[in-house]
């Protein structure tokens, strides 16, 4: 087992990794930017190293500074969390070259799944269903031929993308040229390459993903699915497990297909295979995230497993302590992402937290790095807390989430709590009737939707 792990991240996920390390008896190193000097991950780690100015490009994305911090402190492994360098094949390779264990998949797997078009082709070859689509588009004329063959509406997507950047929905042929150029420009700015591809657009989809974990001894498991349909600006806002749309037989069949596909490519550590579901409950592979997810706690709540501990143990060479290819799911869990945002416009709301109280009680968990008098800086993601609840069924989980949201106090900044309260009270949500455009009803300015 590792003796000391450096966490190449910040905020609640850095604290989450520190918690897992403490329970495993592993010392920790926090890295922080000048903006995070008084953050809780700095306080609770055994050691902390400042790696640069507030801008993430000069700190949390600065590979040289992070590797130097690991070498100076004598760390023998690095956990990247999510975001920042978590899905950087280059960073994983630099860790290996520096004789630091990277707590995540092999660089080849990260690179393969990071190219969304190659990932689609690979998963199709391995037997997973994929939407009709193209290879990388080379010209406008090719785009027109592909779109006509697939049938409108279509989605233009960045080949190296994610998070909604470099994506454009095209409903009519006359919209194609402008959307193609815009998507290419966004892709180049966000990911360093203008490569885009086209796939069929599902008008009323649901977003469902399978949590997977693989060890270095050839074993891969899945831990059920999460429903991630409720989103704004292509960003997830609420997740739950299990999905109301997946029954036991479908879970076993599709989960088994996912496991066998990942075994064939030798996948290791944590990952999430994401699908879109159409109106007929057909599932199509969307992408794979080669890291721990923001929403991993809902899976922990319904399985009783500590996914971050499993990540560390697998990276250290241990076998997955689970028989078969899955575990049973117990009850129902929901996670609400509490973001520092205006609940009407979703505009960021940085500033000082003047009052802070987290809810408690049976079945309630809060993952956060915020506290009273802490400062939410404007330089990073707006997520400030994850409120997770567990109940014996979905109805109890919704009721528990509603009361927990009412008891969650954040003063001094705006948060997304009011929008979550509206969601919990919505009769369609309670009935499980929603798609990725669900938030549009709460967002007149069009910020909602997929």
- Catalytic amino acids? 291
- The CA-based angle 328-331-332, given to 5 degrees, is 115
- Distances from the Cα of 381 to the Cαs of 167, 177, 340, 396, in angstroms? 20, 32, 9, 31
Residue ranges in 265-411 assigned as alpha helix (H): 296-303, 307-315, 394-406
Question: What is the distance between the alpha carbons of residues 161 and 188, in angstroms, rounded to a whole number?
Answer: 10
Cβ–Cβ under 8 Å, residues 229 and 436: yes
Question: What is the distance between the alpha carbons of residues 112 and 76, in angstroms, rounded to a whole number?
Answer: 26
Burial zone of 379 (CB within 10 Å; 0-12 exposed, 13-18 middle, 19+ buried): middle
* Helix (H) or strand (E) run with residue 381 in it: none
Residue ranges in 140-225 assigned as alpha helix (H): 140-150, 176-191
Cβ–Cβ under 8 Å, residues 139 and 130: no
Strands 101-102 and 77-79: parallel
Torsion over CA: 151, 154, 158, 163 (sign): negative
């Amino acid at each position: 087992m590792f003796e000391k792990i450096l966490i190449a991240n910040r905020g609640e996920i850095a604290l989450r990794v520190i918690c897992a390390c403490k329970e495993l008896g592993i010392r920790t190193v926090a890295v922080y930017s000048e903006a995070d000097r008084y953050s809780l991950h700095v306080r609770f780690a055994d050691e902390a190293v400042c790696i640069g100015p507030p801008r993430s490009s000069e700190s949390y994305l600065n590979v040289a500074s992070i590797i130097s911090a690991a070498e100076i402190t004598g760390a023998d492994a690095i956990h990247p969390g999510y975001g920042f360098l978590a899905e950087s094949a280059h960073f994983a390779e630099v860790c290996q070259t520096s004789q630091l264990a990277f707590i995540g998949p092999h660089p080849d797997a990260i690179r393969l799944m990071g190219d969304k078009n190659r990932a689609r082709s690979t998963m199709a070859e391995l037997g997973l269903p994929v939407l009709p689509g193209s290879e990388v588009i080379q010209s406008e004329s090719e785009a027109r031929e592909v779109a006509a063959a697939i049938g409108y509406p279509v989605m233009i997507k960045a080949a190296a993308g994610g998070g909604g950047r470099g994506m454009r929905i095209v409903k009519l042929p006359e919209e194609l040229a402008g959307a193609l150029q815009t998507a290419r420009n966004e892709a180049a700015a966000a990911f360093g390459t203008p490569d885009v591809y086209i796939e069929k657009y599902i008008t009323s989809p649901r977003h469902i993903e399978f949590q997977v974990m693989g060890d270095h001894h050839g074993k891969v498991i899945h831990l059920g699915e999460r429903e991630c349909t409720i989103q704004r600006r292509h960003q997830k806002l609420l997740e739950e497990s299990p999905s109301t749309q997946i029954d036991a037989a479908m879970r076993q069949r599709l989960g088994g297909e996912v496991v066998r596909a990942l075994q064939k490519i030798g996948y290791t550590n944590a990952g999430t295979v994401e699908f879109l579901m159409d109106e007929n409950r057909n599932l199509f592979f969307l992408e794979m995230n080669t890291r721990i997810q923001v929403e991993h706690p809902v899976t922990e709540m319904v399985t009783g497993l500590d996914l971050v501990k499993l990540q560390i143990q697998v990276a250290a060479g241990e076998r997955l302590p689970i028989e078969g290819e899955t575990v049973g799911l117990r009850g129902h869990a929901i996670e609400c992402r509490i973001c520092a945002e205006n609940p009407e416009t979703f505009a960021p709301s940085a500033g000082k937290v003047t009052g802070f109280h987290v809810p408690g009680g049976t079945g309630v968990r809060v993952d956060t790095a915020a506290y009273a008098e802490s400062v939410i800086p404007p330089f990073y993601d707006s997520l400030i807390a994850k409120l997770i609840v567990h109940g014996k069924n979905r109805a109890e989980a919704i009721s528990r989430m509603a009361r927990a949201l009412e008891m969650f106090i954040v003063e001094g900044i705006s948060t997304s709590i009011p929008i979550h309260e509206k969601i919990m009270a919505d009769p369609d949500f309670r009935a499980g009737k929603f798609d990725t455009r669900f938030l549009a009803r709460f967002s007149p300015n069009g910020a909602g939707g997929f």
